[in-house]
Structure formats: structure tokens, C-alpha cells
Amino acid sequence: EPEVTQTPSHQVTQMGQEVILRCVPISNHLYFYWYRQILGQKVEFLVSFYNNEISEKSEIFDDQFSVERPDGSNFTLKIRSTKLEDSAMYFCASSGVQGAAGELFFGEGSRLTVL
């Protein structure tokens, strides 16, 4: 069964360092997303990506964040200068259909710990 894969599963970094989280969405999907979940809290939308550009982003997704699809398979989330409050699980998701009708498939997540 096709799945969304994410790397690394866990990353520990010092405050102020850059972090890149990687995702390989399901191959025939066109819509890609990043979500985050701070420990004990609900899943929050960060950004959606379609046709090689950001289609929507939340207030959380400030200038410290960026996304890229450097090749035909990878989808990355970069945090330029990490802060303590960036510590969270980051989930990549993909769907074949945009919006409310589309079933979302999540990856296993990347746990980011900022010290």
C-alpha cells in the first residue's frame, strides 16, 4: 500500500540552527501539506503546496519556514533559525484531491526537539 514517508524520524538541534525535514508523498498525489503537533495539543495546519507553489499557509508559517519540492519526489520543510517553541511533531500529508473532499494520508512524522 502506498504511503507517505518522512525523514528523519527524530532530530535534536540547538536553538538558532537550520533544520530540514523531508517527505516523500504518495507518488500520484498532487497536493502536499505540512502540519505540526505540539506535545499534548491538536494537529495544526502549516502550509499546503500544489503545482510547485504554496497554495495556502497559516499564521504559524512565518518567514522562518519555507517549503520546496526540489525534485519529482521529495517535499521539504525548512526552518531557518529554530526556536524552542518549534519543538513538535511535524507531519507531512498528501492527497490526490484538493480540499474538503480529499482523503489525507499522513506520514509517520518527524519529531523535532530544539534545545
Partner 1 sequence: KNQVEQSPQSLIILEGKNCTLQCNYTVSPFSNLRWYKQDTGRGPVSLTIMTFSENTKSNGRYTATLDADTKQSSLHITASQLSDSASYICVVSVKRAGANNLFFGTGTRLTVIP
Interaction site with partner 1 (CB under 8 A): 4, 6, 31, 33, 41-45, 48, 50, 55-56, 58, 89, 91, 93, 98-101, 103-109, 111
**4 neighbors 107 (Cβ within 8 angstroms):** yes
**102 neighbors 30 (Cβ within 8 angstroms):** no
Distance of closest approach, residue 90 Cβ to partner 1, in angstroms: 10
Distance of closest approach, residue 94 Cβ to partner 1, in angstroms: 11
C-alpha grid cell for residue 17? 540552527
Distance of closest approach, residue 26 Cβ to partner 1, in angstroms: 13
C-alpha grid cell for residue 89? 511533531
Residue 110 buriedness (CB in 10 A; 0-12 / 13-18 / 19+): buried
What is the pairing mode between strands 75-79 and 110-114? unpaired
Distance of closest approach, residue 52 Cβ to partner 1, in angstroms: 15
Closer CB to partner 1, residue 16 or residue 96? 96
Closer CB to partner 1, residue 15 or residue 43? 43
